[in-house]
Structure 1
Amino acid sequence: MTGVKNKTAIVTGASSGIGEAIAMHLAEAGANIVLAARRKERLEEIALKIQQKHSVHIKAVETDVTNREKVEQLVAEAKDAFGSVDVFVNNAGVMLLSFLKNDHVDEWEKMVDVNIKGVLFGVHAALPTMLEQESGHIINVSSVAGHEVFPSSSVYSATKYAVRALSMGMEKELSKTGVRVTNISPGAVSTELTEHITDEEVIENFKNRKMTPLEPGDIARAVTYAVSQPDYVNVNEVIVRPSQAKK
């Protein structure tokens, strides 16, 4: 699969931030896009925006990645609409940073459900079609927090380490099948993820952060680079970090 022109790309977590940017960039590269997230109205707004800029086909599917049947339905609808599933971007995720001593157990569970089980359900739903096609590309969005742990990231990092481990295992298992796997690890990115943090100590720490975050498009370009390589090239992992501190 060289390039993505006229291919079908499913992007989860596509209603904002990195997911929205990935969908935009893949559409610019000529892919037909299936937008997946829980906020259907927001998806429809993004679909309209893409259609106004690019001559590709767009479909919005309301999807909760923690629901296995919904993710299966997402892939089925993509196949029915466009005939194939060529790229599946496991982007949906939550970053509910908290200090362990503050005991945000419900948030720990939510991160496990979305960040790990959501990715597994995406693989489960998309992989059979890709194996049948003998082609496809699965992008798993992990995090720099999946490479190093910092105070308040213990559980979040654990989920992102899991995504990296899954990506490495998939790459080895699928190396001769025509299905490629790429793990993308963003550093700090300007998205709404931090708005969902409830731990007051973490929120206070974020106020003192000196690093200038990346923009969602910076990560989208990394994804587009990986999926645009020739069939014989598998970009296994890309780490994208901010490089400058605020002055």
Structure 2
Amino acid sequence: MNHTLEGRVVLVTGASSGIGRAIAIALSKAGARVAAGARRADRVRSLAQDAPGETLALELDVTDPRSVRDAVEATVERFGALDVLVNNAGVMLSGPILGADTTEWTRMVETNLLGSMYAVHSALPHLLRHKGAVVQISSTSGRTSSAASGVYAATKFGITAFSEALRQEVTEQGVRVVVVEPGFVATELTSHITDPAIQAMAKNMAESMRTLQAEDIAGAVVYALSQPDHVAVNEILIRPTDQAR
């Protein structure tokens, strides 16, 4: 049992599947009290039953600032505090810029970038009070942009920029900011892609390597949050060994 996470209160966004679900369960196993939020309320309710520790299931839409505020308030009401925010909610709707459906762009910006910013805004007063932490689940696309992922990469580059400004504002008050950048992970993220050629390309890529599992990313988050207070693990880039680019 990790003593540093024992009793800590964590809010995880996008907790209904994949990386978010794995993080919620791993933190619960490490002794944290977890509020798990996502749009798919039925999925977070089943997560709450599977998690070993006390877990609060929340219906949460990060694109709606009121929904975000309500989730933070519900967490604090239930557990009496909020120590850690894990911003994991995200969508990846890859495709070329020419002829793109720009409503997909809006959805990515609202979910990946604005959603994570709303969550920080609502959680920050509590995190400052408890000298807590913000974990931003970004992507290798937040470091290197590539064809057919322009807007997705723009949202992840945005997270990096926002996180560094946030870090400079709050680190001396004891709030640690952690950016985790996974490479190819086996999750349902790619299943939302509407462009058939890009969807097929993602599938082929996944089949060509030993992809990361959601639990691998959860392990990195537990590691970062378990460090002594004077240690801030600001960035973790984690790729499959087989991923060259």
The residue type equivalent to 1:169 in the other structure is: A
Unaligned runs of 5+ in 1: none
Residue of structure 2 in register with 1:22 after alignment: 23
Shift of residue 208, structure 1, vs aligned partner: 3.0
Residue of structure 2 in register with 1:159 after alignment: 155
The residue type equivalent to 1:24 in the other structure is: I
Structure 1 runs of 4+ with >4 Å offset: none
Does 1:220 pair with 2:221?
A: no
In 2, Cα distance between the equivalents of 1:227 and 1:208? Answer: 34
Shift of residue 148, structure 1, vs aligned partner: 0.5
In 2, Cα distance between the equivalents of 1:208 and 1:46? Answer: 30
Q: Is the 8 A contact 1:130 1:179 kept in 2?
A: yes
Does 1:87 pair with 2:84?
A: yes
**Matched residue SS, 1:101:** coil
Q: Is the 8 A contact 1:138 1:181 kept in 2?
A: yes
Listed one character per residue, the Cα deviations across residues 90-140 of structure 1 (whole Å, up to 9, x for unaligned) are: 00000100111131201001000000110011101100112233x110001
Residue of structure 2 in register with 1:98 after alignment: 95
Q: Is the 8 A contact 1:94 1:115 kept in 2?
A: yes
Range 58-67 or range 101-110, more displaced: 101-110
Residues paired across the two proteins, number:
239
The residue type equivalent to 1:68 in the other structure is: P
Residue of structure 2 in register with 1:169 after alignment: 165
TM-score by length of structure 1 reads 0.94
Question: What is the identity percentage for the equivalent residue pairs of Structure 1 and Structure 2?
Answer: 42
Listed one character per residue, the Cα deviations across residues 176-233 of structure 1 (whole Å, up to 9, x for unaligned) are: 1111110000101010111000012212322432233210000000000000101111
Residue of structure 1 in register with 2:137 after alignment: 141
**Matched residue SS, 1:70:** helix
Q: Is the 8 A contact 1:88 1:126 kept in 2?
A: yes
**Matched residue SS, 1:166:** helix
In 2, Cα distance between the equivalents of 1:208 and 1:3? Answer: 41
**Residues 178, 104 of structure 1: CA spacing in aligned structure 2 closer, same or farther, 3 A cutoff?**
same
Listed one character per residue, the Cα deviations across residues 135-182 of structure 1 (whole Å, up to 9, x for unaligned) are: 110001110011111210111000000001111111111121111110
**Residues 93, 58 of structure 1: CA spacing in aligned structure 2 closer, same or farther, 3 A cutoff?**
same
In 2, Cα distance between the equivalents of 1:234 and 1:89? Answer: 15
- RMSD between superposed Cα atoms in Å: 1.1
Matches within 5 A, 1:224-243: 224-243=222-241
- For residue 110 of structure 2, the aligned residue among 110, 113, 124 is 113
In 2, Cα distance between the equivalents of 1:160 and 1:17? Answer: 18
Unaligned runs of 5+ in 2: none
Q: Is the 8 A contact 1:98 1:104 kept in 2?
A: no
The residue type equivalent to 1:100 in the other structure is: I
In 2, Cα distance between the equivalents of 1:43 and 1:108? Answer: 26
TM-score by length of structure 2 reads 0.95
